[in-house]
Structures are given as C-alpha cells and as structure tokens.
Amino acid sequence: MPARDRDESGRARNARPRDGLGRPLPYGASGVDRQPEGIVRTPAQTLAEAQRLLDGGRPFHAHEVFEDAWKSTAGPERELWRGLAQLAVGMTHALRGNGKGAAALLERGASNLEPFRSSAPHGIDVAGLQEWAGALVAEANSRVRAKPVAPRLVR
C-alpha cells in the first residue's frame, strides 16, 4: 500500500492538485491553489472572502472559508457558519452535476440557517439565501441549469 500524503504535523492530507471545484487532479497536473486552512477571520472578513470566491465560481473554496468560521466559533452562531458552508458545498455539487448531492446539502444548509431567519446576524440575508437554496434545489432536481448563479450573502 502506498504511503499517504501527510502535512507537516503528520495528519493525512491529500497533496494532489485540485480543480476549481475541488476535484482531485493527477499528481503533477496544474491545479487551483487551495484555500489556506485554519484562518480566523472576523464575520465581515469571512463574508467578504466567501463572496469573492462565490462570485469567482469557486464555491468549494468558499466552503473552506465558512468551515474556518464554523470551526473557530462557539455558541449558537456555529450553526450559522455550518449552514453557509453547506450551501457552498451544495453549489459545488450542482456545478459538478451531482443533483442529488446538491439538493441534500442545500436543504440541510437552509435548515441550519432557519434559527437565524428572524434575527440574522452580520447583515446576512438568511431569507434570501433560503429562497436561493430552494430554487437551486428545484433546478438540481430537474437538472435544468448546469451553472448556478452565486447567492448574495449580505443584503
């Protein structure tokens, strides 16, 4: 069995290059730079960076930004960032042509945002994101559109 790729701390990490949607490419291929992990950002920085990545057609990378916020947040807002990460992964699946996976993650993400609908923190347009997710679920289920439009995170 070949040795697994490991990071500097010895944790298993796949070192294969990735495409813009996070899919692994063959070793030696030119890929898209990965999003650095473990960066603690303010909510405004998180939203701005994630929006930049979404607008650039890189929802997989936006998911990683939201994942950093999710993992570095304690308390009730943790589920907010988790829900946003799930929406970004859902969009990634839609762009990859995986309608079933897209629908599952989009529904889960929209559900995790529900507690924040009446009092959305950081100017996040929770209702708009849930509406966007519902529309993309319908598209993913019918596979009408191959390239979803990025959502607006903040009103």
Q: How many domains does the chain have?
A: 1
The answer to whether residue 84 sits within a structural domain is yes
The answer to whether residue 99 sits within a structural domain is yes
pLDDT bracket for residue 146 (50, 70, 90): low
Q: Which DSSP string do the residues of 30-99 spell out, in sequence order?
A: --BPPPPSS----HHHHHHHHHHHHHTT-HHHHHHHHHHHHHH--STHHHHHHHHHHHHHHHHHHHHT-H
Distance of CA 63 to the CA centre of its chain: 2
How confident is the model at residue 126, as a pLDDT?
A: 98
**CATH assignment at residue 128:** 1.10.3450.10
Q: How far is CA 73 from CA 53, 109, 126, 146, in A?
A: 21, 17, 18, 34
The answer to whether residue 33 sits within a structural domain is no
Q: Which region, left, alpha or beta, applies to residue 10 given φ > 0 means left and ψ of -120 to 50 means alpha?
A: left
Q: Are 102 and 132 in contact (CB under 8 A)?
A: no
The answer to whether residue 12 sits within a structural domain is no
- The per-residue b/e assignment along 56-72, b for 16 or more CB within 10 angstroms, e otherwise, is ebbbbbbbbbbbbbbee
Domain limits for position 107 = 43-142
9-13, 35-39, 91-95: lowest mean pLDDT where? Answer: 9-13
The answer to whether residue 18 sits within a structural domain is no
The answer to whether residue 85 sits within a structural domain is yes
> For the chain, what is the mean pLDDT?
89
Checking if the pLDDT of 148 tops 80, the result is no
Q: Are 51 and 88 in contact (CB under 8 A)?
A: no
pTM greater than 0.85 (yes/no): no
The answer to whether residue 4 sits within a structural domain is no
How confident is the model at residue 122, as a pLDDT?
A: 96
pLDDT digits (tens, 9 = 90+) for 30-76: 888 888 888 999 999 999 999 999 999 999 999 999 999 999 999 99
